Amino acid sequence: MGALANHTTLRLGGPAGALLTHTDPTAWPDLAHAIHRESVRPHLLGGGSNILAADAGLAGLVILMATRGITAHLTAGGDVEVTAQAGEPLSALVDYTVAEGLSGIEYLGGIPGTTGAAPIQNSGAYGQQISDVLTQITAYDWQSHTTTRLLPAACAFGYRTSVFKTQPWRWTILTVTLRLRLSAIAAPVAYRHLAEELGVPLGTRPSLAEAAEGVLANRRARGLLLPKTGPDSRQAGSVFLNPPVSAHQAAAIHAAGGPVMRDLHGVQRASAGWLLEQAGYRPGCRLAAGVYCSTHRTLTLTARERATASGFAAALRTLATEVHTATGIRLRPEPVMLGFDSQPVHSSADWA
């Protein structure tokens, strides 16, 4: 039995009933058939960078998606379609596209994890999200027991969400295809932090390489890169989504000097980090045995010696409850909570 702690960036989580590493794409049909015969639905793991796995672990089968490979072809319209295997690290895919002079995901460097997991929460950063350029997913459908092609309209992408979150058991993503522009110039800089990092006005279009390097430098400075060692090395990134707010709540936040922004889908959202700081939390503060806010940012919680998944989950609940009591705003956890319930909890209705 493999401990889930060995496969998650929080390094928390008990044993899996069975753990299987999937590396050979051609072996998938036989593997899926064998799993179907046993009447089990597997849990999927990519890089484990967005998972809080329970101390008791999981009784079922866990598949580590570790297939690698990138292919590309020129489309009739002059764009390039790039297809990556699910286990290909997203950062390796970003590096590939920047090196090949392809624009579309240059601002997504530094996000840990796999390409196959990126559509799950529609991963994004600095004004880009994977759904902006995604044209097709091949996925195994555990309902119909077929490998199927999903177009973006079927994926119900939104701010850090998709159909894969609302129907977590149904599909295993096998490949992801993106349509990218042949261009050595990046998309316009849309984020103030990045504009400052690059020393250019908002709206500037740097070269792909400058954009990608600027993102990594800015993420490092803001504690958004996963460090290999040190007090912040065990984490799953931001622990809460930026919550949607009503016009009334937005006005109250503005009056208190806080930020309200529109997401790429037009919804007004408060900053979850700012709300935690208004509740009195600061970078580095201790929340429970072995559970701390990261030394860089309040919105990232880290695990240190003596941390447990249940303590981590309890800390999340305390933070969400305090913010809700003070403001009426509900914080929802961003990491998937695995093994805490009969199903993976993507956004619990009774949270806080």
Ligand X SMILES: Cc1cc2nc3c(=O)[nH]c(=O)nc-3n(C[C@H](O)[C@H](O)[C@H](O)COP(=O)(O)OP(=O)(O)OC[C@H]3O[C@@H](n4cnc5c(N)ncnc54)[C@H](O)[C@@H]3O)c2cc1C
Selected binder of ligand X within 66, 315, 336, 345 (CB under 6 A): 336
Selected binder of ligand X within 66, 118, 215, 272 (CB under 6 A): 118
Selected binder of ligand X within 175, 235, 298, 327 (CB under 6 A): 235
Q: Which stretch binds ligand X (CB under 6 A): 76-84, 92-100, 119-127, 312-320?
A: 119-127
Whole-number Å distance between alpha carbons of 106 and 211: 7
Is residue 105 within the footprint of ligand X (CB under 6 A)?
no
Number of residues that bind ligand X (CB under 6 A): 35
Whole-number Å distance between alpha carbons of 266 and 252: 20
Nearest approach, Cβ of 164 to ligand X (angstroms)?
Answer: 6
Selected binder of ligand X within 57, 116, 158, 273 (CB under 6 A): 116
Helix (H), strand (E), coil (C) string for 17-48 = EEEEEECCHHHHHHHHHHHHHCCCCCEEECCC
Is residue 62 within the footprint of ligand X (CB under 6 A)?
no
Whole-number Å distance between alpha carbons of 113 and 237: 11
Is residue 91 within the footprint of ligand X (CB under 6 A)?
no
Is residue 133 within the footprint of ligand X (CB under 6 A)?
no
Is there a catalytic annotation at residue 210?
A: no
Nearest approach, Cβ of 76 to ligand X (angstroms)?
Answer: 29
Is there a catalytic annotation at residue 238?
A: yes
Whole-number Å distance between alpha carbons of 321 and 160: 22
Selected binder of ligand X within 125, 178, 315, 345 (CB under 6 A): 125
Q: Which of 160, 234, 297, 332 is catalytic?
A: 160
Selected binder of ligand X within 13, 32, 42, 49 (CB under 6 A): 49
- Other C-beta atoms closer than 10 Å to the C-beta of 201 total 9
Is residue 46 within the footprint of ligand X (CB under 6 A)?
yes
Selected binder of ligand X within 120, 189, 211, 293 (CB under 6 A): 120
Is residue 45 within the footprint of ligand X (CB under 6 A)?
yes
Whole-number Å distance between alpha carbons of 216 and 194: 10
- Other C-beta atoms closer than 10 Å to the C-beta of 324 total 16
- Residues with Cβ within 8 Å of 55's Cβ and at least 6 positions away in sequence, in order, are 12, 13, 14, 308, 309, 310
229-267: burial string, b at 16+ Cβ within 10 Å, e else: eeebebbbbbbbbbbbbeeebbebbeeeeeebeebbeee
Nearest approach, Cβ of 62 to ligand X (angstroms)?
Answer: 9
Whole-number Å distance between alpha carbons of 303 and 179: 38
Is residue 53 within the footprint of ligand X (CB under 6 A)?
no
Is residue 138 within the footprint of ligand X (CB under 6 A)?
no
Whole-number Å distance between alpha carbons of 269 and 254: 12
Which H/E stretch holds residue 64? strand 58-65
Selected binder of ligand X within 42, 48, 158, 273 (CB under 6 A): 48
Whole-number Å distance between alpha carbons of 44 and 319: 28
Is there a catalytic annotation at residue 297?
A: no
Is residue 54 within the footprint of ligand X (CB under 6 A)?
no
Please report which residue ranges of the chain form alpha helices under DSSP H: 28-37, 90-99, 152-155, 163-166, 192-198, 208-221, 247-255, 272-278, 309-327
Nearest approach, Cβ of 132 to ligand X (angstroms)?
Answer: 13
Residues 140-169 touching ligand X, rule: CB under 6 A, are 164
Question: Annotated catalytic sites, by residue?
Answer: 160, 238, 334
Q: Which residues bind ligand X (CB under 6 A)?
A: 9, 43-51, 65, 86, 111-114, 116-118, 120-121, 123-125, 164, 171-173, 224, 226, 235-237, 336, 344
